[in-house]
Structure 1
Amino acid sequence: MVNLKKIAHTVQQVAEAISLAVGIETEIVDDELTIVGGTNLYRERLGQKEESGNIENNYLYGRVLQEGETAVVEDARRDITYDYSTVIGTTQELAEICTPIKAKNKIIGIIGLVAFTKEQQQHLLRNKESMILFVERMADLLASKALETEALHRIKTIQNEIMTILETIHEGMLAINEKGHINYCNSNAEVLLRSLREHIVGKHISYFMPNTPALKVLENGEGYTENEEIYKKEYSNFHFIVTARAISGSTKPRGVVISFRDIVEARKLIYNMSEMSMSYTFEDIVGISDSIVKVKKQADQVARGYSTVLITGESGTGKELFARAIHYSSPRKKGPFITVNCGAIPETLLESELFGYERGAFTGAKEKGKVGKFELADGGTIFLDEIGDMPLHLQVKLLHVLQNRRFERVGGNKTILVDVRVIAATNKNLEEMINHKKFREDLYYRLSVIPLKIPPLRERQDDISLLKDYFLKKYNAFLNKSIKGFSKQVEELYRTYNWPGNVRELENAVEYAVNMTFSNEIELDAVPPRIRKYYHTPSVGEKESTLQDCLKRLEKDIFLKKIAEKGESQNAKLEIAEELGISRATLYRKLAEHNLS
């Protein structure tokens, strides 16, 4: 807001200059009738109010502020509208020329030329026209100065806002001129360049970023975005993600703005914006059975440390869920959690997936190279699922990383240090694989510093009902249904079924049933056929109280459990027969008797 108080020093100088030029006392007040500048008597009253500060009293200054026109009072002592002092008879002033100060059609104050003696009065009236012209020019001068000050204040405010933004953004910022010298850097640039601002500004950009592509932007004006750049110096190395934008000039760029961040921080940002940032805790693991409660307690205690963990268990038991819970219950929970399925990635690509590769490392490699999962997991946890499927030559490199916390990208020679906690998981018997020379013994002992075995669902009978109700609620919401529960037959089947696919199979079965059910209750016909065939339906009039009936039921249950555990292939049936101590022919006959062929 334009205000005479903001230029009070200039106002006082103008008042003294006017008085010196015309030989008459000068008073300058603002739009609130506060005396801002003046000579002699008025100088002694700086900061006080004229006309009691009330514009509505309709005295001289109030009228001029409202009407915006120059006024002349030739005989102040006889003009009762001049000032309150004329009403009470104490007026000292004899005459006055009063001119408004206008800035952008707004009156921001008044200049008054005041005669206190007869000589001054006669001089003012004799030269009235020239004095009005002069004081109006001085009013314009003050208005221009006030506007200039206000404009500078706005510019300074905007500049402060911009500087605040530049100082608070999470990236380092540099501005270089047309010759490549640094004109500006923010506080994050100081941190990233490991130098003080006074040692950065003024230096050529090549001092910190030798051969930077930003210099080419000065030549062609073509900026670039998120370029990975590595700068090696005697005292330190920098690994940045850099964006450069040209500052337009008349014929060529007059500078470049460079924003950059440490590549580790950039990876964390990518991670935090991805789905992988979903957190899990041990409370998300559903189960009340003794076996699952015990392993949850063990895992919770393990989470507080930094040691490598090996999670074993059958497929579908929730090994990854335990790994996530360990990470998000650990001191590393603010770092990334990166998952690698060693069995799902082709052997030829697994090394580059884990450790990344440099530009041109092999045919088909990305132009800028690629960051590996271990680098992405720096400061957090990497989960190596299906570790038993990792080829032997990579097991050697993994062992080296676990021992030394460093590695090299494929096709590179730069050593990369990482701070990563490793959690591995497998559904295979690694000790048996060691005996068959399919898994390295030294890697096994390095991985299994803290072993955790997740129990299969068949050992968690108390959790089956809890889990199926949990999944029913989940898929009711997902599929917008309102199924109330399960029939008694389904309850019985789910309770007695062996669940070779464990929790994953149970979830899939419930999802299938919710999709196939259009009533309020899940019936047998909505159970997946591969599970439904294991339901025993008593025939009409069937007696189950005799010893023979009980033995038949027990025999069928044994076969059902074995088939659920081993499968239905020829090799699986041969294995079942061997375990039960019967011939393959007897097995087929028994399966036919129980309608299990």
Structure 2
Amino acid sequence: MNKNYILNTILATEDDAIVVIAPDCKVLFWNDAAVQTYTIHQDEIIGKPITDFFKDEDLLLLYVLKTKQPVKNAYHRPREDKHVVINSAPIYNDNNELIGVVSIDRDVSNIVRLNENLLSTSTELNELKRKIYMNKEETPFSKMKGRSPALQKTIRIARKVASTDATTLILGESGTGKEICAQAIHDASARRDGPFIPVNCGAIPEALFESELFGYERGTFTGAEKQGRAGKIEMADGGTLFLDEIGELPKKMQVKLLRVLQENRVFRIGDSKGRRLNVRFIAATNQDLEKLMNENKFRSDLYYRLDVIQVKMPSLRERTEDIPELANYFLKQFAAQYQMPVPLLKEEVITQLVAYKWPGNIRELRNLMERITVLAENGYINWEELTQHFNLLRKKVEQKRITDMSLLQEKEELEKERIIQLLEKYNGNKSVAAKKLGISRVTLYKKIQQFKINTR
């Protein structure tokens, strides 16, 4: 089999743009992903100087060609509408003569735009919530539904925290409502008119962390916005920065965040003077940070800076008396959203909902109530229909089937469920899911095919 055919097929199949230029800057290779990323066909660009299509200052390839130094995981902006993460290196022949440069560009434009849209939407929502609170006899903590002692204890602590600027750490399992609690603390504080900037530390590619959190000065690197750009920390000036999944913050960024907390000053990339800040920090995690400290994955000095006040969000298992109220609240919410009648839950259904362990907590209950609203017939749903349509008590119903499985089958079943959970959590982002699973993207793709997981 001709190895060139194999190599060409591999390069054509790769999702990332792959570009090769010669020492005279003429393009030698331009794969299909490069066509998709930069909307320039191979017939137009191959054999021509790449500088005919891009400005010199926007080409990281020229920097590598000039310095003969490789670049790893560098955030780059070759065009106004394109954000990429680049790995680039010089190419040498057997005589150690430079014969070109290769660049592999991963398009992260959608991630950057999504972050910007989320920030804009968050600001608009904050303003809308502020107006609602002014017109209704509600408090910011009204969204934390439930009357259980466990939740009320959390709300009492959160109210006290809101009256101060103390750095706060919110602990709790995934799906317990940590961001809702952080938003309530902000809305009840003296900073309510300032911005509330949420940052999911588990959803930002590591190469983008520094520019996203700290921003950069103009002219800092090739492709940067000409006027520079403020990071999320700077955008929160006068308000609150919410760092969700703080345990996912890379060690390098932990050092920089600690400096901000100590000095109340943020340093953009390329800035040696820094900018004075007035930001309230709230962090949240579902991980055991003390364990991460012992494993040298989380800095102890940062932990103690964040853990001034600790707020614990109880799991749904610890507040089962709130389940009927929460279920009905979500049913009414989705019935209004989809313009459908509010389904009635039979008493037997309520009993079983309370008995269920809810590993996904409120998020899992909310998703179930949405499905019930859409699929319920005759205005109500009984237990038989619930188990038939939603498989709620999977662990109880399938107990015998799981017991009869071989160890290998049970392992594969657990693997499949874990992959599905992470793909749902990160909106189908396979790179992030693979990172959380501790496997490569290639391995994840193989397992998706093996388990016939629908990723659409």
TM over 0.5: yes
User: Which amino acid is 1:515 matched to?
Assistant: V
Equivalent of 1:425, from 284, 295, 299?
Answer: 284
Distance 1:270 1:456, change over 3 A: closer
Counterpart residue number, 1:453: 312
Counterpart residue number, 1:473: 332
**Per-residue deviation, residues 498-518 of structure 1 (Å, max 9, x unmatched):** 100000110001001111113
Counterpart residue number, 1:525: 385
The answer on whether the counterparts of 1:333 and 1:380 sit within 8 Å (CA) in structure 2 is yes
Query: 1:368: Cα distance to partner?
Result: 2.2
The answer on whether the counterparts of 1:340 and 1:382 sit within 8 Å (CA) in structure 2 is yes
Counterpart residue number, 1:368: 227
The answer on whether the counterparts of 1:336 and 1:381 sit within 8 Å (CA) in structure 2 is yes
Distance 1:570 1:384, change over 3 A: closer
Counterpart residue number, 1:77: none
User: Which amino acid is 1:533 matched to?
Assistant: R
Alpha-carbon distance in 2 for matches of 1:569, 1:272? 36
Alpha-carbon distance in 2 for matches of 1:275, 1:364? 32
Counterpart residue number, 1:512: 371
- State the Cα RMSD in Å: 2.8
Query: 1:283: Cα distance to partner?
Result: 1.4
Alpha-carbon distance in 2 for matches of 1:442, 1:356? 24
Alpha-carbon distance in 2 for matches of 1:437, 1:304? 34
User: Which amino acid is 1:531 matched to?
Assistant: L
Query: 1:485: Cα distance to partner?
Result: 1.2
Query: 1:497: Cα distance to partner?
Result: 1.1
Scaled by the length of structure 2, what TM-score is found?
0.57
Paired residues for 1:28-107 under 5 Å? none
Greater shift in the superposed pair: 283-292 or 518-527:
518-527
Scaled by the length of structure 1, what TM-score is found?
0.44
User: Which amino acid is 2:414 matched to?
Assistant: S
Identity of aligned residues (%): 46
| 3-state SS of paired residue (1:423) | strand
Counterpart residue number, 2:39: none
Paired residues for 1:147-166 under 5 Å? none
Distance 1:310 1:295, change over 3 A: same
The answer on whether the counterparts of 1:271 and 1:277 sit within 8 Å (CA) in structure 2 is no
Alpha-carbon distance in 2 for matches of 1:529, 1:316? 19
The answer on whether the counterparts of 2:169 and 2:308 sit within 8 Å (CA) in structure 1 is yes
Distance 1:353 1:278, change over 3 A: farther
The answer on whether the counterparts of 1:402 and 1:446 sit within 8 Å (CA) in structure 2 is yes
The answer on whether the counterparts of 1:517 and 1:526 sit within 8 Å (CA) in structure 2 is no
The answer on whether the counterparts of 2:239 and 2:279 sit within 8 Å (CA) in structure 1 is yes
Aligned positions, number: 280
The answer on whether the counterparts of 1:316 and 1:503 sit within 8 Å (CA) in structure 2 is yes
Alpha-carbon distance in 1 for matches of 2:184, 2:417? 35
Distance 1:422 1:273, change over 3 A: closer
The answer on whether the counterparts of 1:493 and 1:534 sit within 8 Å (CA) in structure 2 is no
Alpha-carbon distance in 2 for matches of 1:455, 1:417? 36
Counterpart residue number, 1:351: 210
User: Which amino acid is 1:274 matched to?
Assistant: E
Distance 1:330 1:567, change over 3 A: farther
Distance 1:571 1:429, change over 3 A: farther
Residue 499 (1) aligns with residue 349 (2):
no
The answer on whether the counterparts of 1:464 and 1:494 sit within 8 Å (CA) in structure 2 is yes
**Per-residue deviation, residues 319-366 of structure 1 (Å, max 9, x unmatched):** 000001101111111111111111111111111111111223234322
Distance 1:361 1:275, change over 3 A: farther
Counterpart residue number, 2:34: none
Equivalent of 1:569, from 414, 417, 432?
Answer: 414
Alpha-carbon distance in 1 for matches of 2:370, 2:166? 37
The answer on whether the counterparts of 2:122 and 2:196 sit within 8 Å (CA) in structure 1 is no
Which structure's relative contact order is higher, taking Cα pairs within 8 Å and 6+ residues apart? 2
The answer on whether the counterparts of 2:122 and 2:197 sit within 8 Å (CA) in structure 1 is no
| 3-state SS of paired residue (1:310) | strand
Paired residues for 1:233-248 under 5 Å? none
Alpha-carbon distance in 2 for matches of 1:363, 1:500? 46
The answer on whether the counterparts of 2:240 and 2:282 sit within 8 Å (CA) in structure 1 is yes
Alpha-carbon distance in 2 for matches of 1:292, 1:309? 17
Alpha-carbon distance in 2 for matches of 1:289, 1:480? 31
Distance 1:460 1:568, change over 3 A: farther
User: Which amino acid is 2:190 matched to?
Assistant: P
What 5-or-longer segments of structure 2 have no aligned partner?
A: 1-118, 130-138, 404-410, 419-456
**Per-residue deviation, residues 215-253 of structure 1 (Å, max 9, x unmatched):** xxxxxxxxxxxxxxxxxxxxxxxxxxxxxxxxxxxxxxx
Alpha-carbon distance in 2 for matches of 1:345, 1:441? 23
Alpha-carbon distance in 1 for matches of 2:151, 2:306? 22
Query: 1:535: Cα distance to partner?
Result: 5.9
Alpha-carbon distance in 2 for matches of 1:371, 1:474? 37
Counterpart residue number, 1:70: none
Equivalent of 1:288, from 139, 143, 147?
Answer: 147
